[in-house]
């Protein structure tokens, strides 16, 4: 018997290295937070109508469907002397920097290419923005997968270390969200970078630029430190065989093991063939999990894509269209920044809830029941957007009767809206964790790899996002425009997903029901 040197090195990786790698999630999530809070309003300021703004978000699910599996597949087999994961993490961080420069300077580049400052749509700026946005989503997907895989490598075969790594990843996701949404809510951040305010780039645009400069600084600092601090050894098929063998190799069975390994390489199906086979051979528990996950994300995406737009348009009563007056646009921007504050509160609640997931699951009788309950909370919150919107509209009508121009809704309406954002952090924490944990649990009995099972689960996330991205704008337009029609439909879907989670979704084995809820997922 001989001990695998690779396995020994992996399993003995200190906690500090795990924290260093997990901290990259803060830089990644900072950028995601800026996308969610500021970019949907920004594309409308460039002249894309509200009903088509959601199409910009198609790049997220498409890149998630293609980039994550490809990067994951090749990072498993990368033989670079710098390690398997580090080259992909470094490349992803570099692409993020390029992308945010294109997004931030889209209006300036558009002016150079011929866009008029005083008219919309700004066609050249929209093209530059779209290219930068697609690169940003590709880069973020290049970063997330290898970071999670490196955490798994550092954890070795230790379940405790794996759970601890996921706790830290979840924690740093919340930290990145809080910082990103706080930056989006601060209206004078551009004062730190006076050069961002140009003829083609107004205050809102300059603030967006400044936010992304901070995003680059944070991500690059964390990534460079982690890649310098964590010593990832060069990978080879021999070390992979040793690690997969559990760290020990029996000399008597060495020949048989090598023959089986060689045979498995001969019959290995390429990446998308493996993914198709996994979908085709899924057992009922995994099918039900995909169904509930799919409905859950159909409920989430309308709000995630248009939450700050809802604050600026329905709650504050502003408008971002190209032909509106400056006051309407200013009120809209104020509402967007208030929405970013709400998202920051949402992230704080997300972080605290993530730390208490095991306690919550035990309190309600298991992860399946917890997921069903929070889906009803999601449905309730989405339904409450109708009441908050009606209260805000009523207040504006009363002010108009009195001849007063309201620049913000009443305090009660603002408190209600911000409270709704905060409460949604609870179901969001469960959505980011339980489906991924259940996928690992359900797939373990079938012998499927963890990466492959999460790739299958990812299909149940990106397909709903594509559906919402294509259909949300036209659906809202059918019922008079705005965001409320999509939110109401999402509330109904959330309630259906809650019912299915409680009824048709199988319960995990008792020994795994609470143990693995810390396997937190991402975008």
Tokens 């490196």 identify what position? 150
What is the predicted pLDDT for the residue at 157?
63
Q: Which residue has the higher pLDDT, 18 or 6?
A: 18
Local structure of residue 268 (DSSP, 8 states): P
Local structure of residue 134 (DSSP, 8 states): H
Minimum mean pLDDT among 48-57, 168-177, 179-188, 338-347: which range?
48-57
Query: Is it the case that residue 209 has pLDDT exceeding 50?
Result: yes
For the chain, the structural domain boundaries read: 8-235, 236-268, 275-523
Q: What is the mean pLDDT of residues 310-329?
A: 78
Secondary structure, 3-state, 40-102: HHHHHHCCCCHHHHHHHHHHHHHHHHHHHHHHHHHHCCCCCCCCCCHHHHHHHHHHHHHHHHH
Q: The pTM is what?
A: 0.70
What is the predicted pLDDT for the residue at 253?
38
What is the predicted pLDDT for the residue at 413?
92
Q: Do domains 8-235 and 275-523 have the same CATH topology?
A: yes
The model's confidence at residue 213, banded by pLDDT at 50, 70 and 90, is confident
**425-442 pLDDT, tens per residue?**
999 888 887 887 777 667
What CATH number was assigned to the domain covering residues 275-523?
A: 1.20.1250.20
Q: What angle do CA 356, 38, 482 make, to 5 degrees?
A: 95
What is the predicted pLDDT for the residue at 222?
93
Helix (H) or strand (E) holding 24: helix 24-34
Minimum mean pLDDT among 12-26, 85-99, 273-287: which range?
273-287
The model's confidence at residue 133, banded by pLDDT at 50, 70 and 90, is confident
Q: What is the largest CA-CA distance in the chain?
A: 91
**439-477 pLDDT, tens per residue?**
766 765 554 445 556 666 777 887 888 888 777 767 767
Q: What is the mean pLDDT of residues 265-293?
A: 65
What is the predicted pLDDT for the residue at 386?
94
Q: What's the rounded Cα separation, in Å, for the pair 272 and 71? A: 12
* 3 state DSSP class of 3: strand
Q: What is the mean pLDDT of residues 365-375?
A: 89
Instruction: Dig out the tokens for 76 from the structure.
Output: 């498993």
What CATH number was assigned to the domain covering residues 8-235?
A: 1.20.1250.20
Query: Is it the case that residue 378 has pLDDT exceeding 90?
Result: yes
Q: What is the mean pLDDT of residues 305-325?
A: 80
Q: What is the mean pLDDT of residues 321-347?
A: 80
Please answer whether residues 240 and 153 qualify as being in contact, where contact means their C-beta atoms are separated by less than 8 angstroms: no
β-sheet bridge partners, residue 3: 248
Tokens 């920044």 identify what position? 337
Minimum mean pLDDT among 69-73, 280-284, 484-488: which range?
280-284
Minimum mean pLDDT among 146-155, 228-237, 366-375, 452-461: which range?
452-461
The model's confidence at residue 355, banded by pLDDT at 50, 70 and 90, is confident
Q: What is the mean pLDDT of residues 175-202?
A: 80
Q: What's the rounded Cα separation, in Å, for the pair 427 and 424? A: 6
What percent of the chain is modeled with pLDDT above 70?
A: 73
Average pLDDT, the chain: 76
């Amino acid at each position: 018997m001989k001990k695998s040197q690779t396995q020994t090195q992996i399993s003995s990786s200190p906690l500090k290295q795990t924290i260093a790698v997990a901290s990259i999630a803060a830089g990644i999530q900072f950028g995601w937070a800026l996308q969610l809070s500021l970019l949907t309003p920004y594309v409308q300021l460039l002249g894309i109508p509200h009903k088509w703004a959601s199409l910009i978000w198609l790049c997220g699910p498409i890149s998630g469907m293609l980039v994550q599996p490809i990067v994951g597949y090749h990072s498993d087999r990368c033989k670079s002397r710098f390690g398997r994961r580090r080259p992909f993490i470094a490349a992803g961080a570099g692409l993020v920097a390029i992308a945010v420069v294109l997004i931030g300077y889209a209006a300036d580049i558009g002016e150079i290419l011929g866009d008029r400052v005083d008219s919309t749509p700004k066609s050249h700026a929209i093209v530059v923005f779209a290219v930068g946005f697609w690169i940003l989503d590709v880069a973020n997907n290049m970063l997330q997968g290898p970071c999670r895989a490196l955490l798994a490598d550092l954890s070795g075969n230790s379940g405790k270390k794996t759970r601890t790594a996921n706790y830290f990843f979840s924690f740093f996701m919340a930290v990145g969200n809080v910082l990103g949404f706080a930056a989006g809510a601060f209206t004078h951040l551009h004062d730190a970078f006076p050069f961002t305010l140009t003829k083609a780039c107004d205050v809102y645009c300059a603030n967006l630029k400044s936010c992304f400069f901070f995003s680059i600084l944070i991500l690059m600092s964390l990534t460079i430190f982690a890649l310098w601090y964590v010593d990832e050894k060069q990978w080879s098929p021999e070390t992979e065989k040793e690690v997969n063998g559990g760290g020990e190799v029996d000399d008597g069975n060495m020949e048989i093991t090598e023959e089986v390994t060689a045979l498995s390489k001969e019959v290995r199906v390429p990446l998308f063939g493996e993914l198709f086979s996994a979908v085709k051979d899924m057992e009922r528990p995994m099918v039900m999990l995909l169904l509930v996950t799919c409905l859950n994300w159909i409920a989430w995406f309308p709000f995630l894509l248009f939450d700050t737009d809802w604050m600026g348009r329905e709650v504050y009563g502003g408008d971002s269209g190209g032909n509106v007056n400056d006051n309407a646009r200013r009120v809209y921007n104020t509402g967007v920044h208030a929405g970013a504050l709400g998202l920051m509160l949402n992230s704080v609640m997300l972080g605290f809830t993530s730390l208490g997931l095991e306690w919550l699951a035990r309190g309600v009788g298991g992860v399946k029941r917890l997921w069903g309950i929070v889906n009803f909370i999601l449905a309730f919150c989405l339904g409450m957007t109708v009441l908050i919107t009606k209260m805000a509209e009523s207040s504006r009508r009363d002010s108009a009767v009195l001849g007063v121009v309201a620049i913000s809704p009443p305090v009660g309406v603002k408190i209600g809206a911000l409270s709704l954002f905060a409460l949604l952090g609870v179901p969001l924490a469960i959505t980011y964790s339980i489906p991924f944990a259940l996928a690992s649990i359900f797939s373990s009995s079938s012998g499927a790899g963890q990466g492959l099972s999460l790739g299958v689960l990812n299909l149940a996330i990106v397909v709903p996002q594509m559906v919402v991205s294509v259909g949300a704008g036209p659906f809202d337009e059918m019922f008079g425009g705005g965001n409320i029609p999509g939110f109401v439909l999402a509330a109904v879907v959330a309630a259906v997903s809650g019912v299915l989670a409680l009824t048709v979704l199988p319960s995990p084995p008792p020994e795994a029901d609470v143990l693995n809820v810390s396997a937190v997922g991402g975008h």
